[in-house]
Copies of this chain bind each other. A is one copy, B any other.
Amino acid sequence: MVNQSLPLDTVFHALADPTRRAVISRLLKSPAPVTRLAEPFEMGLPAFLKHLAVLESSGLIHSEKRGRVRTCHINGERLAAAEGWLAEQRAVWAGRTDRLAAFAESQHSQEQEE
């Protein structure tokens, strides 16, 4: 059906869920084991593991297992990939192709909005 090979597809899809975004926010602070990560959420572990699988297959996180505990880490570069696409689009919106100018633009308008 959909060609899920495109990295942006999987990254944006991974971000389209509050549980997964919360996991990312948490992991940005420091790596953490699975059960620690799962604590704040109401769902069972199997459901939570599916979210982790989505995050991992999108490349937003990776994990390694030592003993019986699997520790998850963030992959900041993938976040940057998504941000980069959006920044490019906003650059077009601002009527420019120069990416640095676009960043300055987004920065500026964001300050005004707050």
Which A residues contact B (CB, under 8 angstroms)?
A: 2-3, 6, 8-10, 12-13, 15-18, 21, 24-25, 28-29, 74, 76-77, 79-80, 82-87, 89-90, 92-93, 99-100, 103, 106-107, 109-110, 113
Contacts and interface: CB of A to CB of B under 8 A. Distances in A.
Given A13-B13, A13-B16, A16-B16, A106 B80 contact: yes
Contacts of A82: 86
B83 A25 contact: no
- The list of the 7 closest CB pairs from A to B, nearest first, reads A12-B16, A13-B16, A83-B86, A12-B15, A28-B92, A76-B93, A103-B107
B79 A93 contact: yes
B74 A83 contact: no
A103 B29 CA distance: 18
A89 B25 contact: yes
Given A77-B113, A83-B87, 10 more contacts: A3-B18, A8-B15, A8-B21, A12-B12, A25-B89, A79-B89, A79-B90, A79-B93, A83-B83, A99-B110
